[in-house]
Structure formats: C-alpha cells, structure tokens
Structure 1
Amino acid sequence: MTMAELVPYRRKAKWGYCYPNGKVLIAPKYDRALPFREGLAMVEARGKRGFVDTAGREVIALRYDRAHGFCEGMARVEREGKQGFVNRQGDEVVPPKYDRVDDFSQGLARIEAAGKWGFVDFTGRRTIALRFDPYNYGVWFKEGFAPVLKGGRWSLIDKTGREICAYAYDDAKNFSLGLARVERGGAVKCAYEDAGDFRDGFARVKQRGKWGFIARSGAELVPARYHFAGDFCGGFAKVESNWRKGFVDRSGREAIALKYDDAGQFSQGLAWVAVKGQRGFIDKTGKEVIAPRYDDAGNFSEGFAWVIRKGKRGFVDARGKLAIPLKYDLAVGFSNGIAWVGKGYINAEGREYFED
C-alpha cells in the first residue's frame, strides 16, 4: 500500500492537509479539499475552486465554479457554465468556452459545442472537428480508437479523426484486446444478443437468452448456458443459474460451485459471497475465509474491505480480523492508504484525519 504524501484534514467545518503522521502542513481554511492527483489537489473556498501543490501553495487560483482532478496532466474546469482545461502550471490550455468536456485519454479529450462533439489535444488544438452527434455516456480513446455517433448510427474513428468503418451500427463500444463490440439489428457483433468487453482474455456473450464466454479468437470457452455471467476478474468470472451463484475459471471449469445467494468479483484473491442475507468472503479455492456475518460488504482494496453490521461500517483485513471498528455511517474502499468514512479520512491503522 502506498500512503498518500498529504491527507485532507478537517477541523470542524474547515479543511486543510496534513502528513500521514498527523502533522498539519496546510491549516484548515477551505470549505472542501480532495486527495491529491498527479501532485495537485482541488480545494474550494467561498464557492470557487482551484488547486494546491504538496508544498501548500495555491498554484492554480480559486477562480472556477467547478474543477475536477488532474488526468494526463490536465484538469477539467468550469466558469460561468462553460468548460475547458488547465495544465499543472495553471495555464488555460483550453479556455472555458465549451458546453462540455471529458477527461483526456490517450492524449485527446472530447469537447461539445453547439450540439456537436469533437476532440482537442494537449495544446488545445481542435484536432478532430465538431462533427459528431452527442451521446450521454463518456467516450474516451482506447487502444487508439473511439466510438462516435452521427445521424443515429455508430462508427469508430482513429486519433486523426478517420472513420475506420461505415456508420452502419446501432451501437459501438471501445476496443478491448483489439476487438470492439458493435451492434446491428439488436445483435452484438452481429452474432450475439449481448456481450461484454474482453477481460482477462475472455468476453461474456449472450445467445438464446443464456450467457457463456468466448476467447479473443472467437473460440467458445464456456457454452451459453447460464442465466447471468459477469466479466472475468482475477482469473474468475461470476456465473448464475437458477438464482444460485458461483464462479468459472479461465479453463471454463466451474471452479466454485453455484451455491451462493449472491457474489462479487475476486479482488486481491478474495470475493464476497452472500448466504441467507449475510456476507462473508471466500478465496480462489472456494474456502470460506470470513464467515457470512455481515449485512453488506465491498471488494478488497489495499488489503481491506468495508463491511456493515446493524447500520455501522468498518473494515476487515484479509485474515478476517475486524481491523477498523464498526462505527462509521459511511465507508468506501482504501486508495493510496486512506479511506473516506463520511466525516473525513482514515488510514489503515484507523487514525482519523478529522476532529469536530
């Protein structure tokens, strides 16, 4: 686990930053403060947002109505209803003039103006003209390509804006391991009723109302025989038949019997499972590591998983020990050594970076 260099710290209603040992670097003076991303953190005061660096300097003035964390060296910002991008030096590489922008991905970001979408690069140059129709979900370049919509039909473009296929599809998704899901006439890949992206080398596919798995070559790994199938994660995929859940492995074998009321994905070698309304955890051999005794539970992250009992949340470790007591109304998974628990952040030892 990598501990954050600085942690958002709250004293009563104000936020600042402290070191992991609790020593305060930036005194609490902000109305909001988020964890650092790419060396900078978003802060807010009097309704305006900007960014501070790890030395506590306001390197980007608090002048924006909205601001998001850095991604590929650029941060989305908004002023007077228009959006753009700033770089780490605070330069408005793309001045806030667009109706909407998305995060950068593979060096390009999607932008919207006058009801049309295009793309800009890191210099702010509009490399792909505003010529595509809008759609509700974010689309990013992946493996060098992005799906685009025009006249109700989908195609895919490369990073120069060239369409690599005709606008012939009812839907199209990002490439995954060199293949992109497309739909025509209600059939995904023009062969399946539905399909997922490739994960761990395999994709779930639906035929005649049942789910199975195929390899990237198109070869069948698991026949379409399950009522539901999840994506592969950590070498296993959740499957369901007759309301019972279990797991198949990368050989297509039912490695863990379909005997659970519900189940999650494997994460750090463990997956939560539900029995009679209670959740516990199993390992990849199917061995019960943590008995089903919690009302709810999340995936493991950085060695811990949040759990709930009687409305209170805490964290268990991979041995099943309740490492952080069940005392919080809210808890989300650990990231960079800290976890959000509603009132503020804690570390893996349970140190609270907040005081009322």
Structure 2
Amino acid sequence: MKRQWQFLGMGLLALGLTAAQDLVSGRLVPFRRGDKWGYADHSRRVVLPLQYEEAGPFVEEVAWVRQNGLYGYIDGGGNPITPVHFSKASTFYKGRATVTLRGETFDIDAIGSRLTSPPEAAPEEDYLSLGDVVRRQGKLGFRFTVGSAVVPAEYDEIREDYRQLLFVRQGAKWGVLNRKGKITLPLELDTIVASPLNDFRFPIARQQGRYGYLNAEGRWLVAPKYRLAEPFIGDVARVETPDGRAGYIDSSGKEFFE
C-alpha cells in the first residue's frame, strides 16, 4: 500500500492512504462541443450524443452525467443506471461512488444500489521504493537500490511517484530526476502533485500559474498551459483553459473539446 502525497511548494500534505486504483480504462472520453457534452472515442468521433450539461469519465464502465443541475449515472451504452436526481455525485472508486440525495450523503454500487458497509480502509505504510535517502549536513541525497546511481546531497526535500521518478526541491522550486539520477526537468516548478488514482501516473506540475502533466520519463506530456488540471482517472483527465473552457485530455495529451 502507498501513501497519497501532494507536493505543494515548500510543504508536503498527506491526502490520505490508499492502494493504487484498479481502473478499467473506458473506451469513451467525455467530449464537449459548445455548451453540450457527450462521449467520443479516442479518434474524437462522437459516439454518445451531445445532450448533457457535463459528463464525467467512465470508471468501471460507469460515468456520471449532469442534466438540469442534477446528476445521475450511465453505462457504456448511454443507458441510465440511476435517475438523474442527485445534487452531488462522485466518480466511481473501487466499486463505489458517493452521492447526495435530498440532503443525505451515502455510497452506491455500480448498479445504483445503496451501500451500508463502509469503504475498505487501507493500512498505513510510507516508504520510498526506489532506494534510500542520504542525509549530509542538513541536505538530502538519494541512493538507488537498483544500479549504482547516487544523487548528491544538495536538496531540501525528496519524494517519489512510486514508479520511476524522483521529485526534488531546493528552496521553493521543484525538479524531476529519473531512476538513473539524471535531471529530466530543472528546478523551475512551483508544485508537483502525484495521485494514486491511476497508480501515480502523469503527475501534475505547476509553473508560472499554469498546470501541465509529466510523462513516465519525467518530461512534459503536456507543458503547463491550463488554469486547472485534475489527476488522470484511467486514461483521461479533466482540465480548464485560461479562458475557463472545461474539457478532457487523454494519455497522449489529445484534447476532447472544441
């Protein structure tokens, strides 16, 4: 099990404990044209009609949609799983989603039935899987378990994405190293956010007030250009442009809004 961390400038905020989510990557991506949302395939061909006020990503073959200010859930064929009557609705996670109906908040399963059992708690365990931190004269370095690479003790903080990247901080700025200890992005980032929603893939980085995404090699999947950026869920992530247009991108960086 791994701890979910959010890297925010000088600080480090623990967001909770969870295993990497076992997601079923949806074949459809939320697609917006004008003020209407539907779903497209990965070639941007509209498959489910543009009829919603907003649409969420498919997780475990279920997605939330919004109409007339209320939320419901549909399956991969566009068929309703629940009525559109929730005032709040979350994306599914490990077989359950949290909804609010007439002021009451509770969880439902993938067929819309109310759940009475609490979600499974993840045991706490915090570690760096790539190697060991080296401390010298108040600074931090890193020694990789595999290979002979050693990162000099010159950083104020070191974290990892639990895959193959190290996030390092000097002062207020973050940079990225690969598992060979080589710099892939210099110390120019204001924040880096790693999420377990997709096994810590595609960390979000902020630079000069704009957000982008990193790829598995620690370079830019999408260079910082968005006003807002949410973690990837499966193979898609929700973003907002500087002028307030919302939409989704896929794991290649392709945008699904016009």
Query: TM-score, length-normalised on structure 2?
Result: 0.70
Match of 1:27 among 49, 58, 61: 49
> Match for residue 179 of structure 1?
none
Contact 1:9 1:345 in 2 (8 A): yes
Q: Distance in 2 between matches of 1:232 and 1:65?
A: 39
Out of 96, 112, 128, the residue aligned to residue 233 of structure 1 is 128
When Rg is computed on C-alpha atoms for both structures, the one with the higher figure is: 1
- The yes-or-no answer on 1:40 pairing with 2:56 is no
Larger relative contact order (Cα-Cα within 8 Å, sequence gap ≥ 6) = 2
How far is the alpha carbon of 1:245 from its aligned partner? 3.3
Report sequence identity in percent.
Answer: 26
| Closer, same or farther: CA 86–237 of 1 in aligned 2, 3 Å | same
| 2:75 aligned with 1:53 | yes
* Of 221, 236, 247, the match for 1:338: 236
Aligned-partner Cα distance in 2 for 1:267–1:35: 24
- The 3-state SS of whatever aligns with 1:36 is coil
Which range is displaced more, 66-75 or 260-269?
A: 66-75
Asked if structure 2 preserves the Cα contact closer than 8 Å seen for 1:4 and 1:20, the reply is: no
Separation of aligned partners in 1, 2:156 and 2:108:
48
Give the length in aligned residue pairs: 226
Aligned to 2:39: 17
Aligned residue number for residue 327 of structure 1: 225
State yes or no: 1:352 paired with 2:246: no
Evaluate the alpha carbon distance shift between residue 83 and residue 332 of structure 1 in structure 2; reply closer, same or farther with a 3 A threshold.
closer
Cα distance in structure 2, aligned partners of 1:66 and 1:256: 46
2:127 aligned counterpart, secondary structure: strand
Unaligned runs of 5+ in 1: 95-100, 102-108, 111-139, 143-173, 177-196, 199-230
Cα shift at 1:348: 2.9
Q: Distance in 1 between matches of 2:97 and 2:202?
A: 30
1:7 to 1:240, Cα distance in 2 relative to 1, 3 A? farther
Q: 1:63 aligns to what?
A: 85
Work out the CA distance in 2 between the residues paired with 1:350 and 1:72: 26
TM-score, normalised via structure 1 length: 0.53
RMSD: 3.4
Q: Report how far residue 53 of structure 1 moved.
A: 0.7
- The 8 Å contact of residues 184 and 219 in structure 2, kept in 1 or not, is answered as no
- Closer, same or farther: CA 86–3 of 1 in aligned 2, 3 Å: closer
Residue 181 (structure 2) aligns with? 286
Cα distance per residue 1:178-232 (max 9 Å; x no partner):
xxxxxxxxxxxxxxxxxxx33xxxxxxxxxxxxxxxxxxxxxxxxxxxxxxxx21
Task: Show structure 2 runs of 5+ residues with no match.
Answer: 1-22, 241-245
Taking structure 1 as reference, are residues 64 and 320 closer, same or farther at Cα in structure 2, changes over 3 Å only?
closer
Q: How does 1:186-197 map to 2 (within 5 A)?
A: 197=124
Aligned 1:87-166 pairs, distance under 5 A = 87-90=109-112, 92-93=113-114, 109-110=117-118, 140-142=119-121
Q: Distance in 2 between matches of 1:20 and 1:302?
A: 22
Q: CA offsets per residue over residues 222-270 of structure 1, 9 Å max, x none? A: xxxxxxxxx21324465778753344777xxxx6454202332243211
Give the letter for the 1:25 counterpart: V
